[in-house]
A and B are shown apart, each in its own frame.
Chain A
Amino acid sequence: MATVEIADVRKSYGSVDVIHGISMAIEDGEFVILVGPSGCGKSTLLRMIAGLEEISGGRISIGDRVVNNLPPKDRDIAMVFQNYALYPQMTVAQNLGFSLEMAGLKKPQIRTKVEETAEILGLTPLLSRKPAQLSGGQRQRVAMGRAIVRDPAVFLFDEPLSNLDANLRVQMRAEIKALHRRLGSTIVYVTHDQIEAMTMADRIVVLRAGIIEQMGTPLELYDRPENMFVARFLGSPSMNFLKGTLAEGEEPALVLPGGDRIVLASRPEARGEIVLGVRPQEVTIDPVRGTPARIVVTEPTGADTHIVARVGDTDVTCVVQGRVEEGPDDIIPLSFAVPSAHYFDPETEQRIDAAGSVLELAARSQRAVQ
């Protein structure tokens, strides 16, 4: 077990920079998930920690060792690959024991360790099978077993669940989380699936185009996204954004380009144009404070119903409990007046606080200058 420290790490392929100076400290035993859209550099970063990609600049340390120039096998890491990367001609037992064999362990030692690991993951009855005879979930478990058997300082997971079907994914999510609790090891996990990130991570790092957009616990990021990208990325369905001009007057309100008026529950520390962000679960049908919206489509999911409706020229999603009788083209009053509403600067897409202090305002203007 160990800490991982990433200091101003950069990666470029020729003249193309893909990672622009990322720094973060991962604590001992922490489960950190790197999340972001394809091409954001999350896998590249993981592969640099693993030693599979060269580091173009900066420093990566595992424990108190700088590992920049160490080959993968000397970094005391284990990696679980998206396609499992099991040796097809070897049995499960041989797959699990391969790294131990390479490390020069004696046969009886290898057997003991392999059996222990198989026991943890429920692979004991499968030890003499070959990968082709296993189901997707079983292969996934062997891939994890191969990592566990080495007892590494850091586990690296590269989108390990993306080849599994939806049910199995939910199950493996729980298993990985339980495994982390049991082993207490440091895990760096890459995914593009925000649900995996939200459900498993101690801390999420949201990456975009080679920079960190925000870093924090899942609920910190969900409750206080620093910018529209993070706000949009986490949560399902995605957060609604409405762009408009703040109305002058007693009651805080937003006037949309078409003239519709949206009542706000708090007054953002800004003037002129802003973007209002409200999660679909917080949009309510409210005949008193609601703004009329024309329903585009309703999607019943069983427990609740997703309504997509048009406010001004923007489609917004609203999740309501139970069933709804209204259908397409019906008009419903949607209210966005919740204290948890988020405000963003339409230019910089950065967060604007609702009850902003002078200090925060100063910080914001400084950011704007940068």
Chain B
Amino acid sequence: MLNPRLLQTPRAHALILLAPALIVYTVFAIWPMINVIVLSVQRWDGLSDARTFVGLANYEHIFLRDPVYWVAFRNTILWTVLSVIFPPVIGLLLALGLNERLFGRGALRVVYYLPVIIAPIAVATMWRWMYDPFFGLFNQLLTNAGLEWLIRDWLGDRTIALYSVFVAYTWQSVGFSMVLFLAGLQSVDRSLVEAAHIDGANRWRVFRHVTLPALKPVLTIVLVLSIINSLKAFDIIYGMTQGGPAQSTQMLALWAFTQAMQIFDFGRGGAISVTLLVITLLIVVPYLRWTQREEGRP
């Protein structure tokens, strides 16, 4: 018999409040994760009843015989490194600028944040148009400025396509870190800034010794989210290049999707997904543990 008084304890309250989220999380996150791991050791075309166990054959294939996997791997790492550097740095600079008393500050904040709320697929379409080699905005502007020698086939040239897509991604994601940094800047103690001025610190020293330490928690959040978001980069690339030309913008998430949903090899797609999961956990878990230790420290 369930003792009704048990329901009155704070622990029971916590469980009741957590239960719906836990159920949703299990059904839509944990279960698919397990399913993907199971899929990765099977052969399945997604339609037939036959799901045969093949051991590590899928892994063997993607690691040893699939040249695209390693291109996608390299691109994903490069993309992640770029996304940890550029969007947060630009976001921080924008936040610092828009934290000053400035004419039209509110409007500018909206302008820089707006791309975040646009669907990535729409962003991809817009930028694909702007990158169009013949009718696109960028090459038109370069022509008008007399800089014809700079004209490129931005998405068609395999040496620059990845960077072109990344610029679009930066444009879209900068507002996100900006808003987090702006919130963080509110927590900077004004009198600490003044104390530093009296102590003889210049603008850079004030930033280095007052602003930056106060932003540390926000910085952690921004970096972790940037890593996670960039490792699973998919929709903007899918919308702009679909991984081309010549796989030069192929990503692990996109390649897993292509294997499963277009080539109908769910086993290999699953194996690729699992490697991506492992990479993500390898980067994020130690980082989170480290920052938690740092924050626990007084």
Q: Which residues of A contact B (CB under 8 A)?
A: 50-52, 71-73, 77-79, 81-83, 85, 87-90, 98-99, 102-103, 130, 132-133, 146, 150
B180-205 contacts to A (CB < 8 Å): 189, 191-192, 194-201, 205
The proximity string for B residues 200-213 relative to A, scoring 1 for CB distances below 8 Å and 0 otherwise, is 11000100011001
Closest Cβ–Cβ distance, residue B13 to chain A (whole Å)? 32
Q: Closest A residue to B298 by CB, please name it.
A: A132
Q: Are B298 and A50 in contact (CB under 8 A)?
A: no
CA distance A73 to B191 in the complex (A): 15
Assembly CA distance A87 to B194 (angstroms): 12
Measured CA separation A150–B199 after assembly (Å): 9
Contact B197 A73 (CB under 8 A): yes
Choose among B191, B197, B205, B298 the residue that contacts A72 (Cβ–Cβ < 8 A): B197
How many angstroms between the C-alpha atoms of A37 and B191 in the bound complex?
Answer: 21
Residues of chain A contacted by B209 (CB below 8 angstroms) = 87, 90, 98
A40 vs B136: C-alpha distance when bound (angstroms)? 62
Chain B CB count within 10 A is highest, among A77, A98, A146, for A98
Given contacts A98-B209, A102-B205, contact A85 B189 (CB under 8 A): yes
Number of A-B pairs, beta carbon distance below 8 Å: 58
Q: In this complex, what residue of A is CB-closest to B213?
A: A89
Q: Contact: B198 with A79, CB < 8 Å?
A: yes
B residues 260-290 in Cβ contact with A at 8 Å: none
CA A254 – CA B40 in complex, angstroms? 102
Contacts A85-B195, A90-B209 aside, 15 further interface pairs with beta carbons under 8 A come to A73-B198, A73-B200, A73-B201, A77-B198, A78-B198, A79-B194, A81-B191, A81-B195, A83-B189, A83-B191, A87-B213, A88-B213, A89-B213, A102-B205, A130-B298
Contact B205 A85 (CB under 8 A): no
> B residues within 8 A CB of A71?
197
Which of B192, B205, B210 has the most CB atoms of chain A within a 10 A radius of its CB? B192
For B213, list chain A residues within 8 Å (CB): 87-89
In the complex, the answer to whether B199 meets A133 with C-beta atoms within 8 Å is no
22 cross-chain CB contacts under 8 A = A51-B198, A72-B198, A73-B200, A79-B194, A81-B191, A81-B194, A82-B191, A85-B191, A85-B195, A87-B196, A87-B209, A88-B213, A98-B199, A98-B201, A98-B209, A99-B198, A102-B199, A102-B200, A102-B201, A103-B200, A146-B195, A146-B199
Determine the distance from Cα of A72 to Cα of B191 in the docked complex, in whole angstroms. 13
Instruction: Provide the residues of chain A in CB contact with B189, threshold 8 Å.
Output: 83, 85
A interface footprint on B137-169 (CB within 8 Å = 1, 0 otherwise): 000000000000000000000000000000000
CA distance A345 to B210 in the complex (A): 53
Query: Judging by beta carbons under 8 Å apart, are A133 and B210 in contact?
Result: no
Q: Residue of A at shortest CB range from B195?
A: A85
Please report the C-alpha to C-alpha distance between residue A260 and residue B157 in the assembled complex, in whole angstroms: 102
CB closest residue in chain B, given A129: B298
CB pair A52–B197 under 8 Å, yes or no, is: yes
> In the assembly, what is the distance between CA of A71 and CA of B203, in Å?
12
Q: Is the CB of B201 within 8 A of A79?
A: no
C-alpha spacing A103/B201, complex, angstroms:
9
Which residues of the partner chain B approach A83 to less than 8 Å between Cβ atoms?
A: 189, 191
Tell me the complex Cα distance, A179–B31, Å: 68
Q: Given the complex, which residues of B lie within 8 Å of A150, measured CB to CB? A: 199
CB distance from A116 to the nearest CB of B (A): 18
Contact A87–B192 (Cβ < 8 Å): yes
Check if A79 sits within 8 Å of B298, measured CB to CB.
Answer: no
Using CB atoms, name the residue of chain B closest to A88.
Answer: B213
Cβ-closest chain B residue relative to A94? B209
Interfacial chain B residues near A77, Cβ < 8 Å: 198
Query: Cβ of A99: which chain B residues have Cβ within 8 Å of it?
Result: 198-200
Whole-angstrom CA separation of A52 from B190 in the bound complex: 11
Q: Which residue of A lies closest to B214 (CB)?
A: A88
Instruction: Write the chain B residue with the least CB distance to A73.
Output: B200
Nearest CB in chain B: distance from A188 CB, A? 14
Of chain B, the residue at the smallest CB distance from A104 is B200
B296 to nearest A CB, angstroms?
12
Which residues from B are CB-within-8-Å of A89? Answer: 213
Residues of B within 8 A of A78 (CB): 198
Nearest B residue to A75 via CB reads: B198
Q: Give the CA-CA distance A173 to B134 in the complex, in Å.
A: 78
Residues of chain B within 8 A (CB-CB) of A87 are 192, 196, 209-210, 213
Which residues from A are CB-within-8-Å of B192? 85, 87
CA distance A319 to B192 in the complex (A): 44
Known: A85-B191, A132-B298. A50 touches B210 (CB 8 A): no
Residue from A73, A98, A103, A133 within 8 A of B298 (CB atoms):
A133
How distant is the Cα of A98 from the Cα of B213 in the complex, in angstroms? 15
Docked CA distance A146–B196 (Å): 11
Q: For the complex, give the distance between the alpha carbons of A89 and B213 in Å.
A: 7
How far, in whole Å, are A71 and B196 apart by their CA atoms in the complex? Answer: 12
Distance A297 CA – B222 CA, assembled complex (angstroms): 61
Q: Which residue of B lies closest to A82 (CB)?
A: B191
Closest to B190 in A: A85
Residues of A within 8 A of B196 (CB): 87, 98
A130 contact set on B, CB distance < 8 A = 298
Residue of B nearest to A52 (CB): B194
